[in-house]
Amino acid sequence: MSEPTFRDLGVSQAVVDALIARDVNAPFAIQALVLEDALAGHDVLAKSPTGSGKTLAFALPIVERTEPGGPVPAALVLVPTRELAVQVTEEFAPIAKARGLEAAAVYGGVSTRTQAKQARTAQILVATPGRLTDLVQQRLVSLAKVQILVLDEADRMLDMGFKPQVDKIVRWLPEDRQTMFFSATLDGEVGMLARRYTTDARRHDVVGLTETVEQVDHRFVPVTDESKMATLIELLSHSEGSTLVFVRTKRGAARLAEKLAKRNVEAVAIHGDLTQVKREQALKAFERGKVRTLVATDVAARGLDLDHITHVINFDPPDDNKGYVHRVGRTGRAGRTGTGITLVTDDQQADVSRIAARLKLGAEFEAEGMRTAPPRLVYSSKGRRGRRRF
């Protein structure tokens, strides 16, 4: 039995033609699962990893179910970061145009009045919680006629402390609406929030055999403090694509980009201290291939949706397995292959080995001659020693 086409799933010919013009010819798994229920107006809970094609899974139902000339905004997409707001809006643009619709983004770091003016004419509004809250409280934007709500990367919004603002925004919306909830996890607090915001939701999960992206080649490279920089430069010299390098701090991102420049390796950095204009300039240079190396912190990279990244290098290892998946998930997206490399000093080996073990990457960790550390011994609340299982 052949795989369903976009037309089979209920997408109009005008939108299909707009997709074909972008060389999008067949649905990804999450799109094939979600579209029928979403187009029918059902609430949706979707567990889908980064790079799985989830943006179109909610963008297509929105443009198909929103009428040109109708209320504004008719659809609201909440995202955790300004970069993701821009990228999701760009993803909407061609398919919205095919249906005579307009999409606008509102996010911090730029003129409030300018964004409010754009939002007043757009049927589809993509927003970060903080800026949208400001606009509504200043009565520059009304959410009274929103018919569709999407929470994209909901787990990241909670991680970044946006829950109070999201709760407030949801209270401003009509109760009679369609809600779609997209997240890498639907467990714990995220799952509770999803159930509270939705009614009789249809759930769809897209998961791999492991928590990590299956298309990624995972490597762990032992280094010393003295050899770390030279190893990074060597890895970058052999990379033929675009590389995202993760560091722990804002200052570390800026310093590493400067050190690379002094060694004739062109790189740009994004971090929280940059203005929005400089962040956008750095991202555009990286997206367009003018610069092949982007140095970023975890916070700055949240929400980045760049399909062309071929390598992710953890110059500073992540704190836990969730951080590892978030970082390395920037490559190997949408069916492409990629490489994730973590540089590991002697004093980091035990912690990184435990992360590898939790993600079933112990063999990859030991392939470089390092040994996996045993699970930590912990004490229960009653004082008895027990072995923690990871």
pLDDT tens for each residue of 24-53: 988 988 899 999 999 999 999 998 766 678
Q: Where are the CATH 3.40.50.300 domain residues in the chain?
A: 13-205, 216-366
pLDDT at 300: 63
pTM: 0.67
pLDDT at 334: 57
pLDDT at 240: 80
pLDDT at 386: 43
Which ranges of the chain have pLDDT less than 70? 1-2, 49-51, 207-214, 300-305, 307, 333-336, 374-390
d(CA 242, CA 240): 7
pLDDT at 321: 80
CATH 3.40.50.300 fits 216-366, yes or no: yes
pLDDT at 283: 85
Whole-angstrom CA distances from 44 to 178, 186, 298 are 8, 12, 28
Q: Structure tokens of 157?
A: 């919004």
Enter the CATH code of domain 13-205.
3.40.50.300
d(CA 317, CA 332): 19
Residue position matching structure tokens 């179910």: 65
d(CA 105, CA 91): 12
Residues in contact with 78: Cβ distance below 8 Å, sequence separation at least 6, in sequence order: 127, 128, 129, 132, 149, 150, 151, 152, 157, 166, 169
pLDDT digits (tens, 9 = 90+) for 247-297: 998 889 999 999 999 999 999 998 877 777 888 888 888 888 889 999 998
